[in-house]
Amino acid sequence: MHVPLPARTRPRSGPPARSPSAKTTKYDLLVGDEPIQYGGFKLFYRQDEPLLSPEQVLELDPAPVVINYQ
């Protein structure tokens, strides 16, 4: 028997692809001058093109403590 998933758990196509420069620019705006202690950076295999490597993400200033590939 097939039971449909509720709307909130259905996979969605998601937003359009994001460039590395768009993601790093947004990170700079949100984190650059803030006194944060533990920053994070999320990457999406299907939406971020080309996908940044962990080394590229660690070059951000300040470097995020958590890098999440989803």
Q: What is the pLDDT of residues 54-69, one digit of tens each?
A: 899 999 888 888 899 9
Q: What is the pLDDT of residues 17-60, one digit of tens each?
A: 678 888 888 888 888 777 776 778 899 999 998 999 989 999 98
Determine how many CB atoms are found less than 10 A away from the CB of residue 18: 14
Kindly report the pTM of this predicted structure.
0.58
Q: What is the pLDDT of residues 2-12, one digit of tens each?
A: 556 555 544 55
Cα 5 to Cα 8, 9, 10, 11, distances in angstroms: 8, 6, 6, 9
How confident is the model at residue 10, as a pLDDT? 46
